[in-house]
Amino acid sequence: MKKVSIVIPCRNEEKYIETCIESLLSNGYPEDLIEILVVDGESNDRTIDIVLNLQKTNQQIKLINNPKRLTPFALNLGVFNASNEYLLIASAHSSFEKNYIQTLIDNISSLENAVAVGGIMETKVKNSNPLSEAIKEVLTHPFGVGNSIFRIGTNKVKKVDTVPFGLYKTKELVELKGYNERLIRNHDMELSKRILKKGGIIYLVPDAKCNYFARENYTALAKNNFNNGKWNILTVYITNTFSSLSLRHFIPLFFLLSISIPSIAAICYFPFIYLSFSAFCLYIMAMMYFSLKINNNKTNFLLILFAFLCLHLSYGMGSMYGFLKIPLTKR
């Protein structure tokens, strides 16, 4: 059987880190064939204490300090300190269903030119309430997350442009010099694009299932997606290519521009306001339709409606802010 190194970048994740590590230790893969590298960004909560406590009975857990406190640096510390042939990228906000590791090992060994494989990601919440359930529904619906196959699911193995919490051939990541440390977000997508450009193939394996614990209030949702939107623009600028991302990453920006540009143009020629109004009405109707469609007894229509609005507006506004940051960003 193959040996696997597992990298978990984290900072202040006391609510989630134990669940993540326990799901890996109990995954069904021989414990003597894995090492778990927890790369901590100088947490000031109980994260380190929790990891050290788990380490007492699980010698395969190693704690690595990340003085720069940023995710791409943490990932590279994991990549270049990994001692095994295969490398699994995890997240403190994730947990893994039984046999996740074994399923990915079997597939990366058998699929043609596979450099990375990953599974279906199911969005969950730690604390179930009407608001958190609304956010969960939005983050698993195509109107919320686009055509992310790993989120909306598939029933067969597929070639894809990226995977969440993927298993990689360590040698390949080292040869690619790991993650781009200038990208605070989108470093995973950008790495996937380099893998594909080199001729490697990334596969989504539906039999491997993992969970991601979503933000549970509008403020946290907006903050996370504002930063995602901002880094979409900065990623294109820093890498000097649109191919480092996919079209779906820019849809919220296009939506906001379809409203704001005609509104500004209406200052000079008022009828442009009707274009803006039409785009807004179409969006509201679509949002109401999907909110009604996915409404269930765990949440309600209005919470879902505002979750869609929060997601799209924060993402699109983040992208606009990204343009303003370009003059202050070095390539």
> 31 and 25 in contact (C-beta within 8 Å)?
yes
pLDDT tens for 275-324 read: 889 989 999 999 999 999 999 999 999 999 999 999 999 999 999 999 99
**Own/partner pairs, 55-61, CB within 8 angstroms, 24+ separation:** 58/21, 58/25, 58/31, 60/31, 60/32, 60/34, 60/35, 60/36, 61/21, 61/35, 61/36
Query: For the chain, what are the domain ranges?
Result: 4-215, 224-328
Mean per-residue pLDDT over the chain, rounded: 93
Q: Is the pLDDT score of 255 beyond 90? A: no
Q: Is the pLDDT score of 259 beyond 80? A: yes
- pLDDT bucket at 27, cuts 50 / 70 / 90: very high
How confident is the model at residue 148, as a pLDDT?
Answer: 80
Pick the CATH number of 4-215 from 3.40.30.10, 3.90.550.10, 3.40.50.720, 3.40.50.150: 3.90.550.10
Residues 6+ apart with CB under 8 A from 255: 279, 283, 312, 316
Task: Give the residue among 114, 197, 199 at the shortest CA–CA distance from 163.
Answer: 114
How confident is the model at residue 201, as a pLDDT?
Answer: 96
> 150 and 123 in contact (C-beta within 8 Å)?
no
How confident is the model at residue 274, as a pLDDT?
Answer: 86
φ, ψ dihedrals at 70, nearest 5°: -115, 150
CA distances 283 to 22, 185, 313, Å, are: 42, 27, 12
Q: Is the pLDDT score of 244 beyond 70? A: no
pLDDT tens for 177-201 read: 999 999 999 999 999 999 999 999 9
**pTM of model > 0.85:** yes
Q: What H or E segment, with its residue span, contains residue 321?
A: helix 301-325
Using DSSP, state whether 14 is helix, strand or coil.
coil
pLDDT tens for 145-157 read: 887 888 878 889 9
CA distances 48 to 6, 90, 301, Å, are: 17, 17, 40
- pLDDT bucket at 114, cuts 50 / 70 / 90: very high
